[in-house]
Amino acid sequence: MAREKHTEFITKDILKSSVKGAFQKLDPRYMIKNPVMFVVEAGCLVTLLLTVFPTLFGGKTEYQLYNGIVTGILFITVLFANFAEVAEGRGKAQAETLKKTKKDTTARILDKAGNETVISASQLKKGDVVLVEAGELIPNDGEVIEGIASVDESAITGESAPVTREAGGDFSSVTGGTTVVSDWLKIRITSEPGQSFLDKMISLVEGASRQKTPNEIALNTLLVSLTIIFLIVVVTLHCFADYSQTRIPISTLIALLVCLIPTTIGGLLSAIGIAGMDRVTRFNVIAMSGKAVEACGDVDTMILDKTGTITYGNRLAAEFYPVKGVLKEDLIDYAVMTSLKDTTPEGKSVVELGNTMGTRIDPSAAGQMEFVEFTAQTKMSGVNLSNGMEVRKGASEAIKARVRELKGTIPQDLEEIVTGISKLGGTPLVVCAENVIYGVIYLKDTVKPGLTERFERLRQIGIKTIMCTGDNPLTAATIAKEAGVDGFIAECKPEDKIDAIKKEQAEGKIVAMTGDGTNDAPALAQADVGLAMNSGTAAAKEAANMVDLDSDPTKILEVVEIGKQLLITRGSLTTFSIANDVAKYFAIIPAMFMMVIPQMGRLNIMGLSSPYSAILSALIFNALIIPGLIPIAMRGVKYKPMSSERMLLKNMGIYGAGGIVVPFIGIKIIDLIIAPLVGLMGL
C-alpha cells in the first residue's frame, strides 16, 4: 500500500525560496497571468501615486496617510498571494536533490574505435554509446544495443527483483539511475540533453511543465468576469456618490474593488494546482501536467495490466514438485541448498518455504559452498559443494541442456510438471544435482497484499476495475478473484485493451489505464489518464501522462483522491471567496454612504466604528485570509466517498456559511483593534 511521505510543511529552504519568489513575481509580466491579482497590483500602484501626490485626482492632502496605509495593505495582499505558491518552493527544493544526483553520475562513453572516456552523465548527447558493467549506474535513458544483463530498478520502482535487459524487443529500454547487477550492457543514449526521464522529473517538480486544466481555465474565466462586473459596480458607485454630493477618495474605491473581487481564490488558485502535482510527487507518482492530476478526480473506470501491477514482478516459491522416483525431501534439500546465498526475493522465498517444510539443510552450511550467481546468459544459479558436486536451479530449457551435456537423462514427467505450473500462471524452476533432475520449484505470481481492500474502496468512490492479461481464462479468473477486481479480459491483445477503453469512453466515462510494455502504449495514449509503470519501456512512459515509480496499482487510489481533492478544494475555496464578498459588502458600502445617507446606517450591522476603520478592517482581513487558507490549499480538502448532492450540501454548509460568518467576526475584531489608531489619525 502506498504511503504518503510525511514532510515538514514549510522548511527553512522552502520559506526562503517562497519569500524570494513572492517578490520576483511582482513583475507585471507574471502578474498579468492572474487577472484578479493583477488588478490588485495595479490598484496598489495607483494608491502609491496618491500617497506621493495626494491631490493628483482631485483628492485632499489629509488623505495622504490613509492612502499610504491602503497602499501598504494592497502590497502585502499581492505578496501573500504570491507567497501562497509555497508548493512551488517545495518542488524547487526537491529538484535540487535530483539535480545533484544527475550531476554526480558519470558515464564511460565509447568512441568508434572502442576507446573509453569517463565524462559526467549531464554531458551525454543523443546517439552516444556507453558501456555499463556490473555494479555501475546506467547514466541516462537509452536502448541496449549489445549484451544482456540483470538490472536492479529498485531505486526507481521500489521492487527488489532484478529484470533482464537485452538488445531488441520490449526489454531493451533502460532508465538512467538504475544499476546493472550482472554482466554488462552497451547502451545507445536516446535522450537529448535536458530531455531524459530524470530531467523531466526535475522540470516537473519545479512546476515548469504544469498546464492549466479545463476546470481551472473555466474558473479563471469566472474570476475575470466577476472582476469586470465589480469594476463596473465601483465606477457606478462613484457616479452615485457624485450625485449624492459625497466625495469618495480614489483609494477608498480601489479598496472597495479589491475587497469585492474574488482575491482569495485568485491568490490561491495557482497554489492549489501546483500543490496537487506536489502531492502526487510525494506519493512517488510523476504527473506530466496538472491536467493529468485533475483528470484523476473524474475517473470512472480503471483498466489494469496484471504482471508487475496487480502482481509482483518477482515471483515467490509456493510449492515443490519432485519428478517420479525422487523423494520430495531430497528436492527440498537441494532447492534450499541452491538458495542459501541467493539474496533475490525468489531465493529467499525458496529457503523460507523449505524451512516450513522441514528441510534438513543447516544454514551454517552456506559457508562451505561456493555460490554461482544467476546470469542472463546461463539462466541458472546454484552452488558448488566442497566435494565437487554442482547443484543448480534455473529455467527448464537451461537445466535440460546442462543435464544432456553431462550425459544425464530427462525425466518423462518433467515436461508435464513444467507445463502444469505454466498453465497456472506460475514460473517453474528446475533443480538438478550434477546430471540428475530432482524436480521443480513452483514460483507463484503473487498478488500484492491489500488489493482486495483497496479495490473495494475504489468501488465505494464509484470506480470500476478491469484486469487485462495475456494469461489463459483459468489463470486470469484465479488472479482476478484473489485481487478483487470487478472484471477481467483474458488472452488480451493490445487492440482488446483499446476496445475496452473506447467502450467505456463511449458511455461518457473517464478511463484510467495502467501498463508497462510497448504493447500497452496505444491503450495508455487512448485512456484519459495513462499511468505507466516506470519499470516499463520508453514507449509506455512516453504514451502515458503519469508514471508510477513504485509499480503499485493501488496507488491510483491516492492519486484519484488527490484529483478529487484538487477539484473539491478549488470549489470550496471559490465558494468561501465569493461568500466573503457578502460580509465585505456590509462592511464597506454602508460605511461609505451613511455620513450623507443616514438610512444606510441600518446596513452597518457589524457596528463598525467609522467609514475609514471599516474600509481598512475589510482590506486587512482580505489580505490576511489568503495566507490563512494556504494550509487548506496545500493539503486539500479531505475527501470521503459520498454522493454529489451530499458533498454539495456539506461544501455549502462549511465553506459557504463559513465564508460569510468568518469575515463578519474577523472584520469586527480588526475594527476594534485599529479604531483607536484611525481616530488618532483624524479619520
Listed in sequence order, the residues at least 6 apart from 487 whose beta carbon sits closer than 8 Å to its beta carbon are 464, 465, 466, 467, 480
- Find the catalytic residue in 141, 199, 278, 305: 305
3-class secondary-structure state, position 317: strand
Sequence-ordered strand ranges (E) for 275-372 = 285-287, 301-305, 316-322, 370-372
Q: Which residue has the cell 470549489?
A: 571
Residue 626 dihedral angles phi and psi, to the nearest 5°: -65, -55
Angle between helices 328-339 and 345-356 (to 10 degrees): 140
Q: Which residue has the cell 475575470?
A: 224
For residue 155, the tally of other CB atoms under 10 A from its CB is 13
The CA-atom distances, in angstroms, between 319 and each of 316, 358, 417 are: 10, 13, 12
> Is 305 considered catalytic here?
yes
Q: How far is CA 137 from the centre of its chain?
A: 25
The closest alpha carbon to 443, from 302, 588, 311, belongs to 311
Answer yes or no: are the C-beta atoms of 579 and 658 closer than 8 Å. Answer: yes
Listed in sequence order, the residues at least 6 apart from 341 whose beta carbon sits closer than 8 Å to its beta carbon are 347, 366, 369, 371, 383
3-class secondary-structure state, position 57: coil
Answer yes or no: are the C-beta atoms of 126 and 189 closer than 8 Å. Answer: yes
User: Measured between alpha carbons, how far is 374 from 381 in angstroms, rounded to an integer?
Assistant: 4
Torsion sign across C-alpha atoms 343, 345, 350, 351? positive
| Radius of gyration from C-alpha coordinates of the chain | 33
Catalytic residues: 305
